Structures are given as structure tokens and as C-alpha cells.
Structure 1
Amino acid sequence: MKIVRIGFIPLVDAATLLIAVDKGFTAEEGLDVQLVREASWSNIRDKLAIGLFDAAHLLAPMAVASNLGLGHVKAPLVSPISLAMNGNAITLSRKLFLELQEASDDRLSDPAVSAKALGKIVQKRAEHGDEPLTFGMTFPFSMHNYELRYWLAEGGIDPDEDVRLVVLPPPYMVESLTRGQIDGFCVGAPWSSLAVDADVGIILHFGCEIFSRAPEKVLAMREAAAADDPDVAAALARAISRAATYVDDPTNRDDVVSVLARPDCIGVGHHAIRGTLAGQINLDSRGGARACEDYLIFGKNNACRPDPRHAVWIYAQMLRWGQARFSTGLVEIAKAVYRPDLYDAAIGVREVSSPSLPDVVGAFAGPDLDERDLDSYLNGFDIGSKI
């Protein structure tokens, strides 16, 4: 058995990795996987980069940033399989949510409506000389950051000028909201549900209402390690693909929930995990709820197969928010993270189909992305950097 150390963050979108190990799928592939639970994404990134981890449950934008040399020493990464799409939520303090209701006469469930209402609140605070609103997100190179920014900007709010965005590890979001240190946050499940259960937060939007198929997490490996030992990458892809099928099957839900709830995995109550997997989410402690079958996507519609278009879309967000510079060469470096060739070789894929969307992520507003013309895409927004 080959020992493989893999870091993960306690989130429901790590389910296929956790189940692949628990159900023995990785062992059947000849791997002795040692899972290491971490508290922050920077810890996982750094340990993967220097070889303390052989693979990692990683933010998709963080993997792209690593290839581009953004934020730390450049460490080329590849992903032989995607772990999850979607799974985030934007949650507000009860106080801010009530203010939002007062600022709008329309349905706040529409992100275009809620963004405009928030814009009114932000403008009013600025006119009165009040402190700007503060929102938490898990990392600058994350879908949480981009979902928040995209939504805010549609309401005429400049995320870098009009509000504060702060980085917090997922397990610290609820505590920070409780203490009034932040006014809201965007984070992966189950932490928004825990804020609801604690009666300190109200879920305003699911991440999939901002982007219908957001590239959330990937299994990341160092490019050199995957090239030196391709059998490990293939074995992990097969095991996790089997796990995705297992997790997607409703008849296995009780078992999956029990595994994820263990202290060595996510370590939270069964209720929040079950609701996340079923797409049945309580919005507040007063009985409000909403169902969405795409709240968190693991394997359906070929979601496990790495899609290089996602890397281009992520790179475009980095350009929009001034995190990266533009060059056609960097587009190709970003795309190199997503390796459908490794996935296809491991799984034996013959035909590939993907959902038909006007945009690769299905954004709720804004221009469609054409990777051949990023300039036109970025010029389609009123707020954000241009090439």
C-alpha cells in the first residue's frame, strides 16, 4: 500500500474525499490515505507546495493562483478530478437583514434586487459617516470572495472602496458574526446553517443563485508529483469518482451523514449536513426554508471531470479585481490546473457532455465569457479593472 497524505478543511464539499477513504475505495486502489484536518486554506496550500501533503482538498481559485505565482512562491498544481461545485451561501446578521428588508419593496430572494437594496444601505452609511459594512470570506482566491464581489458590484457597490472584506477560516465565521465583528459572510456548508441554528444569521442567497455551477473545490496535486507517479493521480480519481456516485445516491444518505458528522471529519450535527446534501436549507430560525437540488453538486452532469474553461473564468475574475495581470500565456498557465486528460485516462471516459449554459458558470447577471476576448468581458462591467 502506498501512503498518501491529503489535507482537507471540515466542509461538506470534502464529502467525496472523506467517503472515498471511509468506504475503502482508496484502499482498493492500493492507497493508504492519511487524511489531515486543517483549519485554514493557507496551511493546506503551503503544506501541499512543500511536499508535506501529497494531495489536497483545495479551493479551485487557489490552485489557479498557485500556478500563476500569486500570493506566494509559485507552485504548479494540477487537478485530476473536481471535488465539488457550489455549496456556498451568503449569510447576513439579523440586524443587516432587517435593514435590507426595509430598503426594498421587492423580493430579496432575487440577487439583483438584494444587491440594489444593499447599495442603498451602503450609500446611506457613507453619507452619515458610519463605519462601512464588513463581510467575511475564506480567502482572496476563492469563489466565496468572487461571489460576494460579483453580487455587491451588481448593486453598484465597489467591494474595494465601499465595504470591508476580511479573511476568516470557515469554522470562525459564526463566532465572528455572533460577536458583531462582521455583518455577514460567504462560506461553504455547513457553516451558514450553523449560524441559522444559533439564531445569529439569516441566509440571504445560496451560492448557486449567484453562479449556477461555480467551480468550488478540486483535488490538487503538485504537477511534478503527478507526473512522476501518475498511478497515484489515477487511483485517487477513480476512488473519488466512485465516492461521488455513492454520495449522490439518496439511499446512502444516512451513512454519508454519519461519516461526515464524526469529529475527525466535519464534526457538526447531523441536521446541518443532511440538509446540505438534500438541498433543503433552513434560511432562518423562524421556519423559513428553501430547496435547491443544485445547492451542492458532486458527480451529476459530469461535474467530477475537470473543465479548463473554469480556470479561464477564474482568471477573468482575478483580472477584474486586480489580483493578476493579463497575458495570453497566463491564460494557458491557468488552464493547466484542470486536467481532463488525467481524469479521462483514469475513468475511461468515452463521451463527454456538460450542461448548456450561456456562461460556463451561469452567472445571474453580467456579460457572458468568451476566453478569446477577455477584454470585452471585463469591459461589460461598470465596477472592476479592465485589461
Structure 2
Amino acid sequence: MSETPLRIGYIPLVDAAALLVAVDHGFAAAEGLAIELVREVSWSNVRDKLNIGLFDAAHMLAPLPIASSFGIGHVRVPLIAPFNLALNGNAVTVTPALHAELAAFADGDPADPLVSARALARVVAERRAKGASPLNFGMTFPFSNHNYQLRYWMAAGGVDPDEDVRMVVLPPPYMVESLTNGHVDGFCVGAPWNSVAVEAGVGCIQHFGSELTLRLPEKMLVVREDWADTRPDVLAALIRSLARAAEYIEAVEHRANVTASIAERLGVEPSLVSRTLNGLLKVAPDGTMRGSDHYILIGRENANRPDPAHAAWFYAQMVRWGQTPLSDEAAATAQRVFRADLYDAALGRPAPTNDGGPRDGIGAFVGPDFVPGDIAGYLKAWELKRSGRPRLSLVR
């Protein structure tokens, strides 16, 4: 039987694990798919090559297909996301010097995001009083969890991410180099790059992304809507292969095997991948460890099923930070991007009941519960928000 060729782009991150394992461990081939994985360095490359048809599918930032479907930040190309590749997986890493400053200014435990956010506001105020330049924070793309988690954290402490600090866009593989060279004072990125910074002695992990928002998709499998409409059987086969790969990754007995193959694809030490998958990370160069059962979810706790409520939350952040206006029509469009129906049809599974996760499905560390049907009411709770487009510096 001949195999169906597919070309899929990805960025070297642990949250691409299900895609990498589906190819390298035969799950895609078992579904009749011959996948060529194309390693990319930036999310704009991944988006553009998917949009113009050079890729059939892509490993992509969860908010990005929403932005593309709106036509903000680029030309409008309707995209859909029928599979979560990972929930969570980010971390906020800062220089050892800034980490020490946050601890010194903390009124309480700096491991508490609200305490550290308020400490950051004190650091910012002191730097301004001294005439020092603003702190620089790197994130991977304007339409990303990294951007929204950094902003959510900063704003909770009273730091305006557009006025009080500089937010710069950096591709994930360049984060550590930028921290080493002093171009940024901190960043939010996915694994393994936070751990790489800690191992190099140039960074301390301040917060896991799951400590800021307990349950959000970080990366998703994304395809063009017209491609999905014309190749439903191929898409279903791809979803099945990813689901089986994700389940395989989560099985403890396979962990050593998958860790080695993922590390080879990413070009990093297997120990960094192992720590990520186990949710036990070295957070400082002195060897301090911290763990979380929710640091990254690849295939457990119903992690792979898209949730339109998550799409609504991302849309709310886009509105909050001035990337797009608020409208009921746009909110509905955003939620239609996350296609749980295609996931359910491919796997032949009924929609799950409540899995015991956070009450509103998000679990942000501060603020009101998120209600997808009342985004306007949710946004009224925030003092810090933008009415125009946020200012971002682009670093290639």
C-alpha cells in the first residue's frame, strides 16, 4: 500500500514531541503517512510556509491560527487546530542578577507569581529613579502564550508591559544567546531553552508557565481550513497517529526511549528532555530543583482535545493588549478555529466530562474566572490593557 506524503514544519521544542515520535517511532507510517519533518527557526517562517502551501501541516503556537484567521499581523488565511500537541510547557527565566533583585524586593515568597510581579514593579521603579534603561524581556511571537503569560504576570504587579519594560521578539533557539549577551534580562519560552540557560549558568527559572495559567494549550497541530476540507481522511489519520504517539510518550516504560529520540531531533542533552517530560527542572545554576505535575502535559488528562474556551481566552488577550477589537462575531470566529469535532470524529471518542481541572478551564493565578460568553465583562476587571496596538521590538 502506498503512503500519503506530508510535509510538516516544526520548531525544535519539546512540545513538538508527539509529532517527532509519531514519525520516528512508526505511528505515522502505521496510518499510511510518509511525513517529512522540516525544522524551522522562527514562527513567522512556519506560519508563512503553511499559509502558502509549502507545508501541509505545522507545529504552531496555539494563538497563531486565530490571528491568521483574523488576518492580523499578516494576510488572512483561515487555519484550524484539531489537535493539542501540548498543554503548558513554558517558563519565565531571568538573569541571576534580576532573580536576586526580585528576591530582595519580594514581600513574601518570590515563588508566588503575585509576589514576584509586585517585586518586579519595585525593580522597575528603582531603575527609573536611577535613570537606568528599561528591562528587556524576550518572547517568541506577538501571538503566543509567551507574550500573553509575560504580560499577565507583569500587569498583575502593576507593571505596564508596553511602557515600563521592552518586549522583544526572539526565535526560541536564540533566547539563551540573547540572555548571555545581555540583550535581554529575561524571557518566556518553551522547553528545553529555559533549562539550557540554567545549565549554562546564565539564567534562573522564575516561574513555570503552569504557575501562571494552570491549563492552556501551548502548541497545536495546525492546517489550512481548505486543506482539511479536501483531505478529511488524511487529517483523521494524522490525528490518530499523534494521539497514539502522545499516549506512548506518557507511558513511563517508554520514557527513556522517547527521550533519546526527541533529544536527537532537538540537538540537546537527553537529560534536559527527561526533566521536562518528568516535570522536574533545575531552576538555578546552584542545582536547586522544582517540580510540577502540570509543567507540561503531552498526552494525559485529555490534553490533546482542543477546547474552544481556550481559543476564547486567547482572543480575550488579543483584545486586552490592543491587537484586535472586541466583537461577538470575532469571538465566535476564534472559537471555531479549535476543532474538537474533528478530534472526536478521528478518534471515535465522545466528548469528555469535566476532568477535575480548574473551574474555568484556565486556572490563572490571579483575576476573575474566565467566561467565554462574557469577554467584555472579563476585560472590565483589568486596569492594565491597551486600546491601541502594543509596541513590540522585532529581533531576527
User: TM-score, with normalisation over the residues of structure 2?
Assistant: 0.96
Contact 2:65 2:337 (C-alpha < 8 Å) held by counterparts: yes
Contact 2:79 2:224 (C-alpha < 8 Å) held by counterparts: yes
SS in 1 for 2:337: coil
**What are the residue-to-residue correspondences of 1:75-86 with 2, within 5 Å?**
75-86=77-88
Amino acid at match of 1:26: A
Q: How far did 1:123 drift?
A: 1.0
Q: How far did 1:11 drift?
A: 0.2
Q: How far did 1:359 drift?
A: 2.4
Counterpart Cα distance in 1 of 2:369 and 2:386 = 17
Contact 1:4 1:34 (C-alpha < 8 Å) held by counterparts: yes
Give 1:133's aligned residue.
135
Give 1:19's aligned residue.
21
SS in 1 for 2:290: strand
Give 1:306's aligned residue.
306
**What are the residue-to-residue correspondences of 1:47-196 with 2, within 5 Å?**
47-196=49-198
Counterpart Cα distance in 2 of 1:77 and 1:352 = 25
Give 2:349's aligned residue.
349
Contact 1:80 1:342 (C-alpha < 8 Å) held by counterparts: yes
Structure 2 unaligned runs (5+)?
389-396
In structure 2, the CA distance between the partners of 1:351 and 1:337, relative to structure 1 (3 Å rule), is closer
Contact 2:321 2:387 (C-alpha < 8 Å) held by counterparts: no
Give 2:374's aligned residue.
373
Give 1:332's aligned residue.
332
Counterpart Cα distance in 1 of 2:356 and 2:303 = 10
Give 1:46's aligned residue.
48
Counterpart Cα distance in 2 of 1:203 and 1:371 = 31
Amino acid at match of 2:154: L
Counterpart Cα distance in 2 of 1:279 and 1:362 = 18
Give 2:393's aligned residue.
none
Give 1:267's aligned residue.
267
Provide Cα deviations, 1:87-120, integer angstroms capped at 9, x if missing partner: 0000000111111111124211100000001100
Contact 1:87 1:208 (C-alpha < 8 Å) held by counterparts: yes
**What are the residue-to-residue correspondences of 1:200-349 with 2, within 5 Å?**
200-262=202-264, 265-349=265-349
Provide Cα deviations, 1:277-330, integer angstroms capped at 9, x if missing partner: 001100111121101111100111211111111110000000000001111111
SS in 2 for 1:153: helix
Provide Cα deviations, 1:194-251, integer angstroms capped at 9, x if missing partner: 0000000000100000000122111000000000010111011100000110000111
Q: How far did 1:85 drift?
A: 0.7
Structure 1 unaligned runs (5+)?
none
Counterpart Cα distance in 2 of 1:178 and 1:139 = 20
Contact 2:89 2:209 (C-alpha < 8 Å) held by counterparts: yes
Amino acid at match of 1:19: V
Runs of 4+ off more than 4 Å? none
Q: Percent identity?
A: 53
Contact 2:56 2:223 (C-alpha < 8 Å) held by counterparts: yes
Q: How far did 1:381 drift?
A: 1.0
Q: How far did 1:351 drift?
A: 4.4
In structure 2, the CA distance between the partners of 1:43 and 1:311, relative to structure 1 (3 Å rule), is same
Contact 1:104 1:117 (C-alpha < 8 Å) held by counterparts: yes
Counterpart Cα distance in 2 of 1:23 and 1:138 = 29
Q: How far did 1:127 drift?
A: 1.9
Counterpart Cα distance in 2 of 1:382 and 1:23 = 49
Counterpart Cα distance in 2 of 1:371 and 1:338 = 14
SS in 2 for 1:243: helix
Counterpart Cα distance in 2 of 1:247 and 1:196 = 25
Give 2:392's aligned residue.
none
Among 24, 29, 52, the residue aligned to 2:31: 29
Give 2:12's aligned residue.
10
User: TM-score, with normalisation over the residues of structure 1?
Assistant: 0.98
Contact 2:4 2:33 (C-alpha < 8 Å) held by counterparts: yes
Amino acid at match of 1:330: A
Amino acid at match of 1:289: M
SS in 2 for 1:252: helix
Provide Cα deviations, 1:39-67, integer angstroms capped at 9, x if missing partner: 00000000000000000000001111111
